[in-house]
Amino acid sequence: MPAKKTILHLFLVITSLLTVMPFIWMISASLMADGHASVYPPRFIPDTFTTVQYESLFSRLSVAQNLFNSIFVSLLVTGVSLIFNSMAGYAFAKYRFRGKNKLFNLLLSSMIIPSQVTMLPLFLMLKYMGLINTYMAILIPGMANIFGIFLIRQYALSIPDSLIESARIDGAGDFQIYSRIILPLAKPVLVTLTIFTFMGTWNDFLWPLIALTDSSMYTLPVALSSLMREHSKDPELMMAGSVITIIPVLAVFLALQKHYIKGIMSGSIKG
Amino acid sequence: MKFTVKILLICLSFLSMSCRQQAERKVTITFWAMGAEGETVQKLVPAFENLNPGIHVKIQMIPWTTAQEKLITAYASGNTPDGCQLGNTWVPQFEALNSLENLDKWIKSSNVIQKDKYFPGIWDTNVLRGSTFGIPWYIDTRLLFYRTDILALAGYKNPPKTWAELYDVSKKIKALAGESGRFAIYLPTSNEWAPFIIFGLQNGSDILKDNGRYGDFSNIKFREAFEYLIKFHKEGLSPVGISQVTNVYQAFRDGYFAMYISGPWNIREFEKWMTGPLKDKWMTAALPSPTGNKPGLSLAGGSSLVIFKESPHKKEVWKFFEYLSSTQVQLRFYKEINDLPALKEAWHDSSITGNKYMKAFFIQFQNVVATPKVPEWEEIVFSKVQQYAELAARNVMPESQALKALDHDVDNILEKRRWLLSR
Amino acid sequence: MAPEQVRSRKYTVDKKKHEAKEKAGSRDLHSKAPFSVKIPAAYLFLAPAMLAIAVFFFIPVAAAFIISFTDFDIYALSSFSNLRFIALKNYLRIFNDPLFYRALKNTFYFVIGAGPLSIAVSLGAAMLLNSPMVRLKGLFRLFYFIPVVTTLVAVAVVWRFIYHPRFGILNYLLGFLSVNPIDWLGDPDWAMPAIILMAVWKNFGYNMIIFIAGLQNIPEYLYEAAVLEGAGWWHRFKSITLPMLAPTTIFVGIITMIGYFQLFAEPYVMTQGGPLNRTLSIVQYMYEEGFRWWNMGYSAALAFVLFFIIFAAALLQLRFQKDVE
């Protein structure tokens, strides 16, 4: 039995190493001088450590602006969509109104439509509104999200009606009930949704690629792919760009991983 | 005393008012430039602003590889800059979009920018239906970069002058390389259309026919050229695909291939990589031609300066263009990033005449032609010519079938153009 | 991809429950006075989200449908007088377009290649981590999960270099097994498998988490009973684990498939669709036609074809789910 256990753990260690190896290689190559990654046999550790790639990213290629764009846009979308979605999710859970179920079903069934379908007209709409190449162009399609509404509705359903009714008897208005009772009680699902939205926006590629035309407006993934095409002969530089793109999102995940994983799990077992 | 103070004060306030007025009148123009040009033009802005205190120039750099896409997006979304650097093959497209300012009247009243100062073949790329829409900024063309040492080993003291010689030397280099996996020439199919178009033009093909209404690739003239180039891939003289070569310069240094057809922007990089014993082991040469009685044709390439119609500051942009079109500034570009000056006068400067790699370029520029001036040109070459060249090079499709399919696809792309022309 | 995944799952699970509620809800509605004070508040809460979804989702969907019957292109952008209504021509062209079939084939290759493989790896990893023998579960789970949260473009950059025929690590490691160097992304036959391998690495952690949750829901006594009956490992896996996990597996299958049909960033960054267009996906073809060459009518038609393919595939899987139940 102990032998079996050792083999099992050995296997886990090796596969874990293989899984994280691309990241190790990424970091190590990003600390090499020009041309040092293009050698045979591959080097896993730089001969001499240098931060020259990072310096040229920030000084010559103004990646700081892209980093700011990514952070700003992700926070903006997360903030706005959290408000919109929680309001709508609450309404679907706790109010009765005409056409509610039809509306809800319509929303649910429209989730099968891939977002690519809307991209062309959305681009044209935003163009005529003069919003292409602005932060608004990223915010607008992310403002409300059917999945978010659904998640919050499911959670709000579990909040007992009696709490709401007693608040109403105490004279609380609709908005007070939402902000003082529902939001605090729904905190776990809001945290989960925050991480999902933040990461989703941060990692999004196709839409920012289309809607942002100016390199000073690019988010990190778009900037990185443009870097990739322009500087494909400098792998060390691109590795440094990858590291910068990944670190913030990894930090958010590591800080809140329990909520994130719980979010995936709770979504999967029973809705 | 008090009176004079008062007068002084009044004068001062007038002064400050005029100052403020001047500050208010300061016009900001945006200018988009690509790649290295963007970085260099940025350095030239302060000198221009000193000469023209009323103008502030904002430079936006866009990468070459996505430039055309980004410009069209900017056009589509109404975000075009005031002025821009435009690859001269793109001028027809933006003109078709009705987005470029007709420069005829500006040129007529300018004493800096005059047609006869430029290479005629290059100037012509900016002329559509008799009107000029762009000013040549710098020029380029493609020719042969080769390793003198490797060619000498293969028995060639001089670069190949004819198609037959080019093929022969490639065979010999490949034979010398043996099992080392090295190649004679780098002719990438999936990201470079230029060699195919150049050799087609050399062989007398018009590429498109009927005023750009249909593709003319199946024509024997193009087919011969196409088959000739594909032979290099099929016989292993050129690597198929591009993934082997991460860095062209490094590969050239390592002797992974001995010849490469490309443009002046490479000179700097080759100089950087070919050091030590390899320092004098490479050269430039005008392209070989089918028969060899004169240098082969190449493309009239380069970038033009254009003004967008939407711009409210055309006068200021034109001033900036006049500044960029002075011999001194043109030479500065040459010295900084090897951009070849569009002004003929600049070519007599010692910095150019003294560079041995430039001689071939000077010869080649006597033999350049424009690509067909249709707005769909980029789509045709990037999405179709490359696609079918790759199919043929990898032996998936016989050449004649590939060219037939190419014509079919190109005719599809040009359908709208035919409809518009027939209206 | 992650949010969509959960999104569609919720949809399938919730529908029945929801239908039951609907009846209850409508009864309530009728019993109340039509002008209850609650109605305006509900609409106020709904308004921002519903407005955003209506204007920036439903209208574009309708508009895309209309555009797909026109030859909207760069000329039409410059003037609407250059726009033609061409009925079904875009769709007819799609069905005669060899490049579309190439992209369709590639996309199916990817979905069928990467889908089951990534689900199998996810399940394997989940069962490993669910084993009572394993220590430091949280740590291993974290390692397996990290690729999921990282930015795809960034990891594609690295993988492109891992696959480098001359300097990449993969060929170097394979060299120890005396495998000749493979030009992963440059060889038409290897490019898609290379992308599949990367996609599996990137995504298996997500489904692994879902499987772990599913495994934890299987009552322990089932296994205990099976052990008492002398059932071996394979038998227990086949007759307890798999059937008990069936709803989870089908759910995971649907979300994975929908996500994989929308393949884009991997080939865009790593191969630009090459070599020989062997990694060109439908979404990438759509992007190129629409946003590179501005053939927007054709691109919109491609988007709808993609939609119908996904729709049909999802229906098929749901039908399968019903059969299982």
Each residue of A169-221: pLDDT tens digit?
988 888 999 999 899 999 988 998 998 899 999 999 999 999 988 778 999 99
For C200, the token pair is 């599996």
pLDDT of A235:
85
As separate numbers, helices (DSSP H) first and strands (DSSP E) second, chain C gives: 16, 0
CA-nearest residue to C160 within chain B is B243
Chains touching A by CB (3 or more pairs below 8 Å)? B, C
Q: How much is the pLDDT for C20?
A: 44
| Tokens coding B240 | 């198929």
Mutate which of C7, C67, C256, C282 to test chain A, going by most A C-beta atoms within 10 A?
C7
| Interface contact B76-A230, CB threshold 8 A | no
Confidence band for A1, pLDDT divided at 50, 70 and 90: low
Nearest CA in chain C to A168: C38
Nearest chain C residue to B378 by CA: give it. Answer: C293
Answer yes or no: do C311 and A270 touch at CB < 8 A: no
* Interchain proximity B246–C84, CB inside 8 Å: no
Q: Which two tokens stand for residue B59?
A: 């430079």
Q: What percent of chain B has pLDDT over 90?
A: 58
Residue numbers in C near B245 (CB within 8 A): none
| Cβ distance of A127 and B76 shorter than 8 Å | yes
Asked if residue A255 lies in contact with residue C298, where contact means CB atoms within 8 angstroms, the answer is: no
Bridge partners, B147 (sequence order): B282
CB neighbour burial string for C173-197, b if at least 16 within 10 angstroms, e if fewer: eeeeeeeebbbbbbbbebbbbbbbb
Do B380 and B92 meet the contact criterion of CB atoms below 8 Å apart? no
Q: What is the C-alpha to C-alpha distance for residues A132 and B74, in angstroms, rounded to an integer?
A: 9
Nearest to C185 among B243, B390, B420 (CB): B243
In this complex, the residue of C78, C186, C292 whose CB is nearest that of residue B97 is C78
Give CA–CA dist C60/C71, Å, rounded.
17
**What mean pLDDT comes out for the span C234-262?**
90
For C210, the token pair is 């879902």
Question: Of B141, C288, C186, B64, nearest to A231 (Cα)?
Answer: B64
Q: Give tens-digit pLDDT for A216-250.
A: 899 999 999 888 877 777 888 999 999 999 999 99
Say what the pLDDT of residue B7 is: 54
**Record: contact B243-C84, CB cut-off 8 A:** no
What's the rounded mean pLDDT across residues C122-127? Answer: 94
- Statement: residue C95 has pLDDT above 90: yes
* φ and ψ of B137, to 5 deg: -100, -60
Q: Record the tokens describing residue A42, joined without a space.
A: 């591959």
In terms of Cα–Cα distance, which of B82, B130, B106 is closest to B307? B82
Name residue B185's beta-bridge partners: B259
Query: What is the pairing mode between strands B55-62 and B27-34?
Result: parallel
Q: Are B122 and B136 in contact (CB under 8 A)?
A: yes
Q: Which residues of A102-139 are buried (b: 16+ CB within 10 A; e: fewer)?
A: eebeebbeebbbbbbbbbbbbbbbbbeeebbbbbebbb
Question: Using CB atoms, which residue from A107, A122, A178 is nearest to C45?
Answer: A178
Q: Using an 8 Å CB-CB cutoff, list chain A residues near B74.
A: 133, 213
Sign of the alpha-carbon torsion through B350, B352, B358, B361? negative
Q: How close C189 comes to chain A (CA, Å)?
A: 23
Q: Are C301 and C64 in contact (CB under 8 A)?
A: no
- Cα separations (Å) of C153 from A19, A53, A142, A150, A245? 17, 18, 20, 29, 9
Q: ∠B146-B198-B125 over CA atoms, to 5°?
A: 115
Q: Say whether pLDDT at C56 is over 80.
A: yes
- The model's pLDDT over B19-32, given as tens digits with 9 standing for 90+, comes to 444 445 689 999 99
Q: Are strands B143-147 and B259-262 parallel, antiparallel or unpaired?
A: antiparallel
Helix (H, G, I), strand (E, B) or coil at B58: strand
Pick the residue of C80, C97, C161, C166 with the most B CBs within 10 A to test the interface with B by mutation.
C166
Q: Do C288 and B98 touch (CB under 8 A)?
A: no
C188 vs B contacts (CB less than 8 Å): 394
Residue among B54, B97, B92 nearest B74 (CA):
B97
Q: Tell me whether residues A213 and B79 touch, CB distance under 8 A.
A: yes
Does C174 contact A at CB distance below 8 Å?
A: no
- The answer to whether the Cβ–Cβ distance between B76 and C294 falls below 8 Å is yes
The answer, for A168 touching chain B at a CB cutoff of 8 Å, is: no
- Residue numbers in B near A230 (CB within 8 A): 35, 63-65
Q: Answer yes or no: do C82 and B420 touch at CB < 8 A.
A: yes
Q: Which residue has the tokens 């030009």?
A: C183
User: Per residue in C185-241, pLDDT tens?
Assistant: 988 999 999 999 999 999 999 999 999 989 998 998 988 888 888 888 889 898 899
Given this model, what pLDDT does residue C26 score? 40
**Judged by CB atoms within 8 Å, which residues 180-239 of C form the interface with A?**
201, 206, 209-210, 212-214, 217
> CB distance from B190 to chain C under 8 Å?
yes
Rounded to the nearest integer, the mean pLDDT of chain C is: 85
What b/e sequence results for C227-236 when a residue is b if at least 16 CB atoms lie within 10 Å of its CB, and e otherwise?
eeeebeeeeb
Question: Cβ separation of A38 and B249 shorter than 8 Å?
Answer: no
Rounded to 5 degrees, φ, ψ at B57 are: -105, 125
Cα–Cα separations (whole angstroms), residue B228 to A37, B176, C221: 37, 22, 74
pLDDT band of A266, cuts 50, 70, 90: low
Q: What is the DSSP letter of B344?
A: G
Query: Does pLDDT of C3 surpass 50?
Result: no
Tell me the nearest-neighbour CA distance from A174 into chain B, angstroms.
Answer: 42
| Closest residue to C63, CB basis, from A12, A121, A268 | A121
- Does the pLDDT of residue C8 top 80, yes or no? no
> Sorting pLDDT into bands at 50, 70 and 90, what band is A121?
very high
Nearest CA in chain B to A128: B77
What pLDDT shows up at residue B67? Answer: 80
CA distance A131 to chain C (A): 13
| Residue numbers in chain B where pLDDT is lower than 70 | 1-25, 65, 242-244
pLDDT of residue B286: 93
Rounded Cα distance, A98 and C28, in Å:
11
Q: pTM for the complete prediction?
A: 0.86
If one compares A14 and C32, the residue with the highest pLDDT of the two is A14
CA distance A212 to A222: 9
CB-closest option in B64, B77, B250 to A133: B77
* Contacts A–B by Cβ distance under 8 A: 52
Token pair, residue B362, equals 């000077």
Q: What is the DSSP letter of B298?
A: E
Neighbours of C87 (CB within 10 A): 10
- Output DSSP code: residue B160: -
Say if C72 is an interface residue toward chain B (CB within 8 Å). no
C188 CB within 8 Å of a chain B CB? yes
Least confident of B361-370, C27-36, C61-70, C316-325: C27-36
Determine contact: B268 vs chain A, CB below 8 A. Answer: no
Q: Which residue in the block uniquely carries the two structure tokens 């829409």? A: B133
Res B9: pLDDT: 53
To test the contact with chain C by mutation, choose from A18, A236, A264, A270 the residue with the greatest count of C C-beta atoms within 10 A, namely: A264
Beta carbons of A70 and A135 less than 8 angstroms apart: no
Cβ contact, residue pair A226, B249, below 8 Å: no
- Report the phi/psi class of residue C33: left, alpha or beta, with left for phi > 0 and alpha for psi in -120 to 50: beta
Q: B240 CA to chain C: closest CA distance, Å? A: 9
If one compares A33 and C29, the residue with the highest pLDDT of the two is A33
A11-57 pLDDT, tens digit each: 999 999 999 999 999 999 999 988 888 777 888 888 889 899 999 88
**Closest chain C CA to residue B65:** C292
Tell whether A187 lies on the interface with B, counting CB pairs under 8 A. Answer: no
CB atoms C2 and A196 under 8 Å: yes
Residue B391 with chain C: CB contacts under 8 Å: 276
CA distance B188 to chain A (A): 15
CA B111 to chain C, closest CA, distance in angstroms equals 34
CB-based contact, A134 to chain B, within 8 Å? no
Mean pLDDT, rounded, for C163-168: 86
% of residues, chain A, pLDDT over 90: 49
Structure tokens at A116: 């690519």
Using the Cβ of B375 and the Cβ atoms of chain C, whether some distance falls under 8 Å is answered with yes
- Which whole-number Å values give the CA distances from C165 to B179, B191, B233, C223, in the listed order? 17, 18, 19, 48
Instruction: Tell me the pLDDT band of A68, cut-offs 50, 70 and 90.
Output: very high
